[in-house]
Structure 1
Amino acid sequence: MSEVKKLKTRDAIDSNYKWNVDKMYKNSEEWEEKFKILKSKAPQIQKFSGKLGTAKELLCFLESNDDIERLLDKLLVYAHLRGDEDTGNAKFQVLKNKIDAYAAEVSSFTAFFIPELLLLPIGAVDEEINKLPALKVYEFYLSDIISQKEHTLDAEGEKLLASVSDCLNAPGNIFGMLTNADMTFPCIKDEKGNEIELTEGNYSNFIKSKDRCVRKDAFDTLFGTYKNFKNTLTASLTSSIKNFIFDAKIRNYSSSLESSLKPNNIPLEVYDNVVDTINKNLSSLHKYVSLKKKLLGLSEIHMYDLYVPIVEVEQEHIEYEDAVKIALYAIKPLGEEYLNIFKEGINKGWVDVFQNKGKRSGAYSWGCYDSMPYVLLNYNYQLNDVSTLVHEMGHSIHSYYSRKNQPSIYSDYELFCAEVASTTNECLLIDYLIKNEKDKKKRLFLINQQLEGIRTTVFRQCMFAEFEKTTHEKIEQGTPLSPEDLCQIYHELNVRYFGEEMVVDEGIDMEWSRIPHFYNDFYVYQYATGFAAANSFSKMIVEDGENAVEKYIGFLKSGGSDYPISILKKAGVDMSTPKPLEDTIKRFDELLAMLEKEI
Structure 2
Amino acid sequence: MIENKNNKLPKRKEIEQQYKWKLEDIYASNDEWEKDFVKVKELIPQMAQYKDKLADSSTTLLQALKLSDELSSLTERVFVYARMRRDEDNTNATYQALADRAKSLSIEVSGALSFITPEIISIPEQKLQEFLNKEPELEVYNHYINEILRQKKHVLSSNEEALLAATGEIAGAARDIFTMLNNADIKFPNIKNEKDEEVELTKGNFIHYMESGDRRVRQDAFKALYSSYIKQKNTLAASLNANVKKNIFYSRARKYPSALEASLDPDNVPKSVYDNLINTIHNHLHLMHRYVALRKKVLQLEELHMYDLYTPLVKEMNKHIYYKEALEIVEKALQPLGDDYIKALKMGFNEGWIDVYENEGKTGGAYSWGAYTTHPYVLLNYQGTMKDVFTLAHEMGHALHSYYTNKHQPYIYSQYKIFVAEVASTVNESLLMHHLLKNTKDQNEKAYLINHYLDEFRGTVFRQVMFAEFEKIIHEKAENGEALTPQLLSDIYHYLNVQYFGDQMFVDSEIDMEWSRIPHFYNSFYVYKYATGFAAATSLSRQILEEGQPAVDRYIGFLSSGDSDYPIEILRKAGVDLSTPQPIVDALKVFEEMLDQIEKLLL
Distance 1:10 1:326 in 2: 27
Counterpart contact for 2:206–2:221, Cα < 8 Å: yes
SS in 1 for 2:381: strand
Aligned match of 1:119: 122
| 1:18 matched to 2:20 | yes
The one of 219, 223, 227 aligned to 1:224: 227
What is the DSSP-based 3-state SS (H/G/I as helix, E as strand, rest coil) of the residue aligned with 1:210?
coil
Structure 1 CA distance for aligned equivalents of residues 446 and 30 of structure 2: 49
CA distance in 1 between counterparts of 2:197 and 2:433 reads 36
**Corresponding position: 1:490 with 2:493:** yes
Runs of 4 or more consecutive aligned structure 1 residues displaced over 4 Å after TM superposition: none
Q: Confirm whether residue 421 of structure 1 aligns to residue 440 of structure 2.
A: no
Q: Is the 8 A contact 2:571 2:577 kept in 1?
A: yes
CA distance in 1, matches of 2:441, 2:39: 59
2:511 equivalent to 1:508:
yes
Answer whether contact 2:229 2:513 (CA < 8 A) is retained: yes
CA distance in structure 1 between the partners assigned to 2:317 and 2:447 by the alignment = 13
1:39 deviation in Å? 0.4
Matched position secondary structure for 2:453:
helix
Match of 2:576 in 1: 573
* Superposed displacement of residue 163, structure 1: 2.4
Distance in 2 separating the partners of 1:443 and 1:563? 39
Matched, 1:328 2:331: yes
Separation of aligned partners in 2, 1:577 and 1:436: 34
> 1:5, CA displacement in angstroms?
4.2
Q: Structure 1 counterpart of 2:504, which letter?
A: E
Q: SS of the counterpart of 2:318?
A: coil
Aligned with residue 464 of structure 2, among 455, 461, 466: 461
Q: Is the 8 A contact 2:320 2:384 kept in 1?
A: yes
When structure 1 is superposed on structure 2, of 210-219 and 446-455 the one drifting more is 210-219
- Which residue of structure 1 lines up, in the alignment, with residue 241 of structure 2? 238
The aligned amino acid for 1:265 is N
CA distance in structure 1 between the partners assigned to 2:339 and 2:268 by the alignment: 34
Equivalent positions of 1:434-583 (< 5 A) are 434-583=437-586
* 1:137 CA drift (Å): 0.7
Matched-pair contact (CA < 8 Å) for 1:115–1:153: no
Please name the residue that 2:29 is paired with: 27
2:19 partner letter: Y
Gaps of 5+ in 2: none
Partner of residue 65 from structure 1, selected from 55, 68, 75: 68
Offset of 1:194 from its aligned partner? 1.0
Deviations 1:523-582 (A, max 9, x none): 000000000000001111111111111110110011100000000001100011111110
Partners of 1:124 and 1:479 lie apart in 2 by: 46
Secondary structure of the structure 2 residue equivalent to 1:365:
strand
CA deviations 1:405-443 (Å, max 9, x no partner) are 111111110000000000110111112112211111111
Shift of 1:393: 0.5
Q: Residue 118 of structure 1: SS of its match in structure 2?
A: helix
Distance across 2 between alignment mates of 1:547 and 1:167? 51
Residue identity opposite 2:23 in structure 1: V
Q: Which amino acid aligns with 1:363?
A: A
AA aligned opposite 2:560? K
Equivalent-residue separation in structure 1 for 2:159 and 2:366 (angstroms) = 40
Match of 2:270 in 1: 267
Q: More displaced, 310-319 or 265-274?
A: 310-319
Verify the 8 A CA contact 2:317 2:448 in the aligned structure 1.
no
Is the contact between residue 112 and residue 155 of structure 1 (CA under 8 Å) also seen in structure 2? no
Which range moved further: 8-17 or 457-466?
Answer: 8-17
Q: How many angstroms does 1:386 deviate by?
A: 0.8
Q: Which residue of the partner structure matches residue 284 of structure 2?
A: 281
SS at match of 1:196: strand
Q: Number of matched residues?
A: 597
Secondary structure of the structure 2 residue equivalent to 1:480:
coil
Q: 1:399 aligns with which of 398, 402, 412?
A: 402
Deviation at 1:99, TM superposition (A): 1.3
TM-superposed deviation, 1:4: 6.3
2:356 match: secondary structure: strand
Contact map agreement 1:74 1:368 (CA 8 A) in 2:
yes
CA separation of 1:275 and 1:4: change in aligned 2, threshold 3 A:
closer
Task: Work out whether 1:76 is the aligned partner of 2:112.
Answer: no
Mapped to 1, the partners of 2:24 and 2:311 lie a distance apart of 44
2:255 maps to which of 229, 252, 255: 252
Q: Which moved more, 1:147-156 or 1:97-106?
A: 147-156
Instruction: Please tell me the root mean square deviation across aligned C-alpha atoms, in Å.
Output: 1.1
Q: Select 2:190's aligned residue among 187, 190, 206.
A: 187
Residues 250-307 of structure 1 deviation map (CA, whole Å, 9 limit, x = unaligned): 1111110111111211011000011000000000000111111111111121111111
Contact 1:115 1:154 in 2 (8 A): no
Structure 1 residue 159, shift from structure 2 partner = 2.6
Q: In the TM superposition, what is the alpha-carbon distance from 1:6 to its structure 2 partner?
A: 2.1
Spell out the pairing of 1:167-186 with structure 2 (5 A cutoff). Answer: 167-186=170-189
Kindly indicate whether the alpha-carbon contact (under 8 Å) linking 1:43 and 1:106 is maintained by their aligned counterparts in 2. Answer: no
Match of 1:150 in 2: 153
* Contact 1:313 1:441 survives alignment (8 Å): no
Secondary structure of the 2:577 match is coil
Structure 1 distance, partners of 2:299, 2:387, is: 23
Distance 1:13 1:225 in 2: 41
Q: Deviations over 1:235-256 (max 9, x none)?
A: 0101011111111111111110
Residues of 1 paired with 2:226 and 2:437: CA distance?
A: 36
Which residue is 1:316 aligned to? Answer: 319
SS of residue matched to 2:90: coil
What residue identity is the alignment partner of 1:16? Q
Given the two structures, how large is their TM-score scaled by the length of structure 1? 0.98
Give the counterpart letter for 1:94 in structure 2.
A
Q: What amino acid is aligned across from residue 25 of structure 2 in structure 1? A: K
Counterpart of 1:571 in structure 2: which amino acid?
A
Indicate the percent of aligned positions where both proteins have the same amino acid: 50
